A and B are shown apart, each in its own frame.
Chain A
Amino acid sequence: MNVRQIGAVAAASVLALGLTACGDSGKSSGSGGGSGAKFKVGIKFDQPGLGLKEGSKYTGFDVDVATYVAKELGHKASDIQWVQAPSAQRETLLSTGQVNMVVATYSITDARKEKVSFAGPYFVAGQDLLVRSDETAITGPETLTGKKLCSVTGSTPAQKIKAKYPGVQLQEFGTYSECVAALVSKGVDAVTTDNTILAGYASQAQYKGKLKVVGKPFSEERYGIGLKKGDKATCEKVNSAIAKMVSSGEWQKAVDANLGPAGFKVDTATNPPKQDPCT
């Protein structure tokens, strides 16, 4: 009886401790966001080479660009709070003020310009193909007839393939990781999306040497930094920050560090890009 009571008290106190521990950690991250001292940047959390969260570490080209731009805007790297910005939520995150800017493989399009303002572009990517390194038959989009391709459900590259190359069989998955897994297991012949994303996967340690990017981009995706609609002042500051990043050589360093390991060559005809005037 006595033992059981002591046990119950012990269990209850341990439980309470656990609850307070959770409450504390939740509060510290939550209040940090609420106080306004943090500079909140929306990035992808699941895109190797561009924006990837591993534990509490964030790596990738988008992360490096965002860090540099934030520094130029007067925010220390330690003041940046990274927020996950899935493709479908990028406009909402910006218009409701949940993030200050979005650097998440965010292509500048007219439809999006109606909802948000863009600074940049800071990189011009293009739709390309990722194949197994022993692949010789696929050398560009015109060699795809009858092949099995993989891309993400509803994404622009998937739509383009369907519209332009009807002879191609397209498998769609929720994320590119599943596509790459299907490619490695020989279920599909190629994965298609922006060459930056493909280079990011090819650079991952577990795929090194097994995959290669074909290197014949057949579209132009101009990555911009998403800002709240009409914020012209910030847009101009961000643009000059990007220009400075390019001229100082930091831009090239970031490209080499994040996308270089798989032998990815930047298309120098379009890169580094000239920034659009802010509107």
Chain B
Amino acid sequence: MGDILSKYDILGAFGLTVYLAVFSAIGSLVLGTLVAVMRVSPVSVLRLLGTWYVNIFRNTPLTLLMVFSVLGMTYILGLNLDPSDIKGNATRWAIVMLSIYHAAFVCEALRSGVNTVPAGQAEAARAMGLTFGQSMRHVLLPQAFRGAIAPLGSTLIALVKNTTVAAVIGVAEAANLMAVIIENETGALAVFVIFAVGFVILTLPLGLLFTSMSRRLAVKR
């Protein structure tokens, strides 16, 4: 176990895992909020588009999205996100696909948050003369985020673990290094334990943080 730790750059691999997770989390939060707003907007076309987005991407296997991003988008459609470097292209596409995939879950979490806000508040906001955008920004979304902290936390934890899928397009994150170690050192329990512990270290504090946040930030009604 000791020589595996010293021979391979495990910290570096987990560093890339964190990098993927941070950027995809930002991406999925922005995109997910946008889709959630579309789904609760008064314009039926936008609602339809939002519903369509969630239904498409929530039910598509992430592996398929990843492979499609390189095999389909890059090689057939020519959408190369980093023409100078094959690895950079794969990493960027991985972030895009992780964002797109988890945005569907973020959207649904936020929509559930919006539904916790009593209808009277939205009506009061409109009665005061706030536009849809204003009532979203100042009344509904702040409460929706606070109400949706717990499901958003679950989505983030799932996202951290889902970054391992990026190994199928050759992004050198933790699961990729695990494949290398298993190939060279044979599949020993120690290897799995190292990587399992790595992910526990990443996700356990997140879980604790979101539990305490959901308690502290809950809207008292």
Contact = CB atoms under 8 A, between A and B. Distances in A.
B41 interface: no
Contact of A87 (B74, B85, B168, B183): B183
Given A169-B86, A171-B86, A172-B170, A154 B183 contact: yes
Contact of B169 (A87, A90, A156, A173): A173
A69 B74 CA distance: 45
B179 interface: yes
Interface string A98-125: 0000000000000110110000000000
Nearest to B183: A154
A98 B62 CA distance: 31
Contacts of B67: 173-174, 178
B187 interface: yes
Nearest to B180: A154
A154 B169 contact: no
Contacts of A89: 187
A172 B177 CA distance: 12
Interface in B118-170: 167-170
Interface residues of A, number: 29
Given A88-B179, A154-B179, A181-B71, A111 B185 contact: yes
A128 interface: no
Contacts of A111: 184-186
Given A178-B71, A181-B71, A187-B74, A172 B183 contact: no
B179 A153 contact: yes
Nearest to A149: B86
B11 interface: no
Interface string B41-67: 000000000000000000000010001
Contact of A156 (B90, B183, B185): B183
Interface string A153-172: 11110010000000001111
Contacts of A87: 182-183
Interface in A123-165: 148, 153-156, 159
A88 B185 contact: no
B21 interface: no
5 tightest A-B CB contacts, nearest first: A187-B75, A172-B170, A154-B179, A174-B168, A154-B180
Given A156-B183, A173-B168, A185-B71, 9 more contacts: A114-B186, A154-B177, A169-B85, A174-B63, A174-B167, A182-B71, A185-B75, A185-B76, A187-B71
